[in-house]
Amino acid sequence: MRRTGSSDSGRSDRDDRGSGRGGAMTGRRKSRYLAGVVNIDPNDIELLSKFTTEHGKILPARFTGASAKQQRQIKRAVRRARTMGLLS
């Protein structure tokens, strides 16, 4: 059955609830790992280990707070360190 004469076309009060993602962040975080770092070096294992999991996977930028440019630099450095055998 359809309601007639209503302007909201059957929608309940969904509009009041927000985006549906409880506690969604507003704005961008600064990268806590890259504070003061200008160049990401593939030989800096301490820094690169902050951007990888225990299994060696590279963490996404949404977890680390890195910008897109920083994330590309991290990706390149981690892959080079893996090639050199510094990271597994």
Q: Domains of the chain: which residue ranges?
A: 29-84
Average pLDDT over residues 2-11: 61
Average pLDDT, the chain: 81
Predicted pLDDT at 82? 95
End-to-end Cα, the chain, rounded Å = 61
Predicted pLDDT at 31? 72
1.10.3720.10, 3.40.1520.20, 4.10.640.10, 2.60.120.10: CATH of 29-84? 4.10.640.10
- Tens digit of pLDDT for each residue in 20-75? 666 666 666 667 788 888 889 999 999 999 999 999 999 999 999 999 999 999 99
Predicted pLDDT at 6? 56
pTM above 0.75, yes or no: no
Predicted pLDDT at 54? 93
Which is nearest to 48 in space by CA: 7, 86, 6, 10? 86
Q: Residue 35 in 3-state DSSP?
A: coil
